[in-house]
A and B are shown apart, each in its own frame.
Chain A
Amino acid sequence: MSGQIKNILLVGVGGQGILLASEILSEAAMLAGFDVKKSEIHGMSQRGGSVVSHVRYGAEVFSPIVPEGEGDILFGFELMETCRSLPLLKPGGTVVANDLQISPPSVLMGQELYPGGLVERIKAQFADFLLVDGQKIAADSGNVKAANTVLLGAVSKRLSIAEEYWLKALEKMVPAKALDVNKRAFRMGREF
């Protein structure tokens, strides 16, 4: 139905910087000349709850939320949250996930175990799956805090937005003193 529209979901844990990442993505899409809409719930999510951000771009976008089961790309910042949101993705969709586990309260308190075998479960369902060690690559790029930018770089390869717009979006959204590190992190993610 929404043939030419790109549907991207960014998921993870409150406090991981997902909103900024989805803002950079939206900005890049706008600079590339697309209509863009973005939606997410913040409020309780600030206290470490699950966060799902929807970004849609194309010639003309109506709904700001991705219709269920029509996600093209699931961009996961944490493994359990990535798995939780798999149903939002269309069959044959793409998963780009950060290789990171953050324990929810029940696991912290020893009432449940963090589920095992998540990477295999994703692989079994989605052939186009890229697992990125965002933390490690960010450390190599010179700043562990740039993990999200590494991931953005990895996702960017799968989107029809030219590199120059990504870099312009970074220039606008990232503080000047962190810009060089972030550009490097972005390129390393893109080459991954």
Chain B
Amino acid sequence: MKEILSGNEAIARGAYEAGCLVACAYPGTPSTEILENTIKYTEIDSSWAPNEKVALEVAIGASFGGGRALCTMKHVGVNVAADPLFTLSYTGVRGGLVLVAADDPEMHSSQNEQDSRNYARFAKVPMLEPSDSRECKEFTRLGFELSEQYDTPVMLRSSTRISHGKSLVELGERVTDLPLPKLEKNPAKLVMLPGNARVRHPLVEQNLINLSKAAAALPFNRVELRDTSIGIITAGICYQYVREVLPNASTLKLGMVYPLPHELIREFASKVDTLYVIEELDPFIEDQVKAMGIPVIGKEIISLCGELTPGRLRTAFGLPQAAVTPAEKMPGRPPNMCPGCPHRGVFFALKQLRAYVTGDIGCYTLGFMPPLSAMDTCVCMGASIGMATGVTKVVSAEEKKKVVAVIGDSTFLHTGVNGLMDMVYNNSPATVIILDNNITAMTGRQDNPASGFTLMDDPTHAVNIPLLCKAVGVKHIRIVNPLDLEETKRVIAEEMERPEPSVIITNKPCVLIKREDVFQKGPIYAVDEERCTGCRACLKIGCPAIEWRAAGDGSRRGKASIDPLLCTGCDVCRQLCKFDVIGSKP
């Protein structure tokens, strides 16, 4: 049976067909939907971990126990999981283990565009790269077999266009003849102390050589000879663009991008006149081909930055572009926090207090955007607290008071809590605000260890964040209602003054949470247009439900108006109106 599946759906399906027993992940665009699809298969135990390192460790445990395990993350997640990964290549596996790294060339929703393929070489792990959903399913399935056959974890690299693109997939059956998992001791292989690791390392190197030799016969790489004046080595989504733009060129399509099939590359190179490597981001394949002494054109014509598109590929080969209608100049449409989002009040206060805000990653990063404009740094998940401590180490006593870290609940549990330990341990005077909206909102509302539910939607223990902060040693912990602007500002101001570590925790949920006991819409608000003076005070919060209606006479005058379909009744705009003309409709 054929179905249209996204790359992520197909990876989940591939894991299912491979007899995978455990799937573990921390969400991150564009990888998130893989686990949101493995939950459809009751045979797979699917769970969210607090971060990528734990997710990989859970998968490693499942593999060591003898079951097949899938672990997925976005590209930057591999940075967090790198520590176990680099030694996992030495231990190898028992049950097959496939680690999916989903890259985001062009940074559609990421803070950098690192190229995960470098991890395969660095960690000495084979890497597969599918070019459509069909291959996503097949390579995931075969990845488990390869993993067991070569006693190594296997990485599968996806990208935004692969993970979120959809194409046709033929579905297969789940394998049923796998050995049942069962404890088995093998310390020489699984206890990586120096003596054991020294024995394992040469095996890893030999394994990669063997795999490179066997690669020509594996079902991942294929030579397609057409016109031999141009030969192109390519992989992943770039293969599709090459076929689209240069349909007559010969191609060596790599499905395994590490280790490379050296013999196949030499053979292909000898059959074509001019050899190119077409790849997004780093010259990963190109450098290795050049190191083989084969002349090749690559990054001279394809950018190191951003994603490839058919148009960009056409430009690279000097082909004519389609005639393009000139673009109209149009107001931009950047993303915005939802109407009634509990994060707004905090950023409104921080702006008024002229705080220096070390930020973190989540919906609240949008607090950077006007009109709130209250975030000064954002580097990676969990970084806000460490950065706040660092800033206070160098600035004057007066400026130290201005330093505030903001971090979401999911991010705090991901890697923020370690920063807090450091803050208390080394007595930084900065203030931390934990924006606890009860969910991992940015990536599409995933549960986390503090939300009270598992990925399977089963109720579970919720981490008590205030108690956790207390256990870390924070003496001043304040809970605030971020929808109460005055209280929020007052509490933040008091804690900024305090020359000791302090934590403020907000207590209102994300408005998109579907559980009625967690979030319910309030009464809808309206502006009394007769009495609205047009002072624009309510616009300062940036709620998308509030619209400025210009008088239309060319002046700056006008009135505010609230869209009843969008308003969630958070009450924040009412508090901003000095003329008391905003209120809930009876």
Complex Cα distance, B163 from A40, in Å, reads 10
Q: Taking the complex as formed, is A35 at the interface, i.e. its CB lies under 8 A from any CB of chain B? A: yes
- In this complex, the member of B326, B338, B548 whose beta carbon has the largest number of chain A beta carbons within 10 angstroms is B548
Residue contact B109 to A44, C-beta cutoff 8 Å: yes
Interface string of B303-323 (1 = CB under 8 A from A): 000000111001000000111
Complex Cα distance, B334 from A23, in Å, reads 24
Residue contact B243 to A44, C-beta cutoff 8 Å: no
Residue contact A110 to B536, C-beta cutoff 8 Å: yes
Residue contact A70 to B335, C-beta cutoff 8 Å: no
Residue contact B548 to A68, C-beta cutoff 8 Å: no
Residue contact A108 to B544, C-beta cutoff 8 Å: yes
Residue contact A69 to B366, C-beta cutoff 8 Å: no
Residue contact B333 to A39, C-beta cutoff 8 Å: no
Complex Cα distance, B29 from A91, in Å, reads 35
Q: Taking the complex as formed, is B240 at the interface, i.e. its CB lies under 8 A from any CB of chain A? A: yes
B164 to chain A: which residues have CB within 8 Å?
Answer: 39-42
Complex Cα distance, B292 from A91, in Å, reads 46
Residue contact A104 to B333, C-beta cutoff 8 Å: yes
Shortest Cβ distance from residue B426 to the other chain A in the assembled complex, whole angstroms: 35
Residue contact A68 to B309, C-beta cutoff 8 Å: yes
Q: Taking the complex as formed, is B167 at the interface, i.e. its CB lies under 8 A from any CB of chain A? A: yes
Instruction: State which of A59-67, A150-158, A180-188 sits at the interface with chain B.
Output: A59-67
Residue contact B108 to A37, C-beta cutoff 8 Å: no
Residues A80 and B539 in contact in the complex (CB < 8 Å), given A42-B164, A47-B338: no
Q: Taking the complex as formed, is B52 at the interface, i.e. its CB lies under 8 A from any CB of chain A? A: no
A14 to chain B: which residues have CB within 8 Å?
Answer: 335
Complex Cα distance, B333 from A35, in Å, reads 33
Per a CB cutoff under 8 Å, which of A47, A61, A65, A87 touches B335?
A47
Residue total for A at the interface (Cβ-Cβ under 8 A): 56
A64 to chain B: which residues have CB within 8 Å?
Answer: 132, 161, 165-167, 237, 240
Q: Which residue of B lies closest to A115 (CB)?
A: B330
Q: Taking the complex as formed, is A38 at the interface, i.e. its CB lies under 8 A from any CB of chain B? A: yes
Q: Taking the complex as formed, is B244 at the interface, i.e. its CB lies under 8 A from any CB of chain A? A: yes
Q: Which residue of B lies closest to A42 (CB)?
A: B164
Residues A30 and B334 in contact in the complex (CB < 8 Å), given A43-B109, A84-B327: no
Q: Which residue of A lies closest to B30 (CB)?
A: A43
- In this complex, the member of A13, A50, A110, A114 whose beta carbon has the largest number of chain B beta carbons within 10 angstroms is A110
Residue contact A109 to B539, C-beta cutoff 8 Å: yes
Residue contact B333 to A48, C-beta cutoff 8 Å: yes
Residue contact A30 to B2, C-beta cutoff 8 Å: yes
B314-348 contacts to A (CB < 8 Å): 314, 321-328, 330-338
Residue contact B331 to A110, C-beta cutoff 8 Å: no
Residue contact B331 to A106, C-beta cutoff 8 Å: yes
A9-29 contacts to B (CB < 8 Å): 13-14, 23, 26-27
A83 to chain B: which residues have CB within 8 Å?
Answer: 328, 330
Q: Taking the complex as formed, is B390 at the interface, i.e. its CB lies under 8 A from any CB of chain A? A: no
Residue contact B311 to A68, C-beta cutoff 8 Å: yes
Residue contact B241 to A41, C-beta cutoff 8 Å: no
Residue contact A108 to B332, C-beta cutoff 8 Å: no
A67 to chain B: which residues have CB within 8 Å?
Answer: 244-245, 309-311, 314, 322
Complex Cα distance, B546 from A180, in Å, reads 35
Complex Cα distance, B361 from A11, in Å, reads 27
Residues A65 and B310 in contact in the complex (CB < 8 Å), given A36-B4, A41-B160, A89-B325: yes
Q: Taking the complex as formed, is B558 at the interface, i.e. its CB lies under 8 A from any CB of chain A? A: yes
What's the dominant secondary structure at chain A's contact region? mixed
What's the dominant secondary structure at chain B's contact region? loop
Complex Cα distance, B7 from A39, in Å, reads 10
Q: Which residue of A lies closest to B247 (CB)?
A: A1
Residue contact A37 to B167, C-beta cutoff 8 Å: yes
Residue contact A37 to B166, C-beta cutoff 8 Å: yes
Complex Cα distance, B2 from A27, in Å, reads 11
Q: Which residue of A lies closest to B131 (CB)?
A: A62
Q: Taking the complex as formed, is B547 at the interface, i.e. its CB lies under 8 A from any CB of chain A? A: yes
Q: Which residue of B lies closest to A66 (CB)?
A: B310
Residue contact B168 to A86, C-beta cutoff 8 Å: no
Q: Which residue of A lies closest to B444 (CB)?
A: A46
- In this complex, the member of A35, A70, A80, A113 whose beta carbon has the largest number of chain B beta carbons within 10 angstroms is A70
Residues A70 and B322 in contact in the complex (CB < 8 Å), given A48-B333, A48-B335, A65-B309: yes
Q: Taking the complex as formed, is B467 at the interface, i.e. its CB lies under 8 A from any CB of chain A? A: no
Residue contact A43 to B240, C-beta cutoff 8 Å: no
Q: Which residue of A lies closest to B104 (CB)?
A: A43
- In this complex, the member of A1, A2, A45 whose beta carbon has the largest number of chain B beta carbons within 10 angstroms is A1
Q: Which residue of B lies closest to A15 (CB)?
A: B338
Q: Taking the complex as formed, is B371 at the interface, i.e. its CB lies under 8 A from any CB of chain A? A: yes
Shortest Cβ distance from residue B230 to the other chain A in the assembled complex, whole angstroms: 16
Residue contact A109 to B371, C-beta cutoff 8 Å: yes
A48 to chain B: which residues have CB within 8 Å?
Answer: 333, 335-336, 338, 544
Q: Taking the complex as formed, is A142 at the interface, i.e. its CB lies under 8 A from any CB of chain B? A: no
Complex Cα distance, B341 from A46, in Å, reads 14
Q: Taking the complex as formed, is A103 at the interface, i.e. its CB lies under 8 A from any CB of chain B? A: yes
Q: Taking the complex as formed, is A90 at the interface, i.e. its CB lies under 8 A from any CB of chain B? A: yes
Residue contact B4 to A68, C-beta cutoff 8 Å: no
Complex Cα distance, B159 from A39, in Å, reads 12
Complex Cα distance, B361 from A44, in Å, reads 12
A106 to chain B: which residues have CB within 8 Å?
Answer: 331-332
Q: Taking the complex as formed, is B450 at the interface, i.e. its CB lies under 8 A from any CB of chain A? A: no
Residue contact B4 to A38, C-beta cutoff 8 Å: yes
Residue contact B546 to A108, C-beta cutoff 8 Å: yes
B90-141 contacts to A (CB < 8 Å): 108-109, 132
Q: Taking the complex as formed, is B367 at the interface, i.e. its CB lies under 8 A from any CB of chain A? A: no
Residue contact A84 to B167, C-beta cutoff 8 Å: no
A26 to chain B: which residues have CB within 8 Å?
Answer: 4, 166
B338 to chain A: which residues have CB within 8 Å?
Answer: 47-48
Shortest Cβ distance from residue A5 to the other chain B in the assembled complex, whole angstroms: 9
Residues A27 and B4 in contact in the complex (CB < 8 Å), given A36-B168, A62-B240, A115-B330: yes
Q: Taking the complex as formed, is B10 at the interface, i.e. its CB lies under 8 A from any CB of chain A? A: no
Q: Which residue of A lies closest to B109 (CB)?
A: A43
Q: Which residue of B lies closest to A80 (CB)?
A: B330
Q: Taking the complex as formed, is A159 at the interface, i.e. its CB lies under 8 A from any CB of chain B? A: no
B314 to chain A: which residues have CB within 8 Å?
Answer: 67
Complex Cα distance, B29 from A27, in Å, reads 24
Q: Can you sample 15 A-B contacts with CB below 8 Å? A: A1-B245, A41-B108, A43-B109, A48-B335, A63-B240, A67-B309, A68-B310, A68-B321, A69-B325, A84-B330, A86-B325, A89-B325, A105-B334, A108-B547, A110-B558
Report which B residues bind A (CB closer than 8 A).
Answer: 2, 4, 29-30, 108-109, 132, 160-161, 164-168, 237, 240-241, 243-245, 247, 309-311, 314, 321-328, 330-338, 363, 366, 369-371, 444, 536, 539, 542, 544, 546-548, 550, 556, 558
Kindly list the 5 A-B residue pairs having the minimum CB-CB distance in the complex, ordered from nearest.
A43-B109, A110-B548, A69-B322, A47-B335, A68-B311
Other than A41-B108, A67-B244, A105-B369, give 5 A-B pairs with Cβ distance below 8 A: A47-B363, A103-B547, A105-B542, A106-B332, A121-B328
Report which A residues bind B (CB closer than 8 A).
Answer: 1-2, 13-14, 23, 26-27, 30, 35-50, 61-65, 67-70, 80-81, 83-84, 86-87, 89-91, 103-110, 112-115, 121, 125
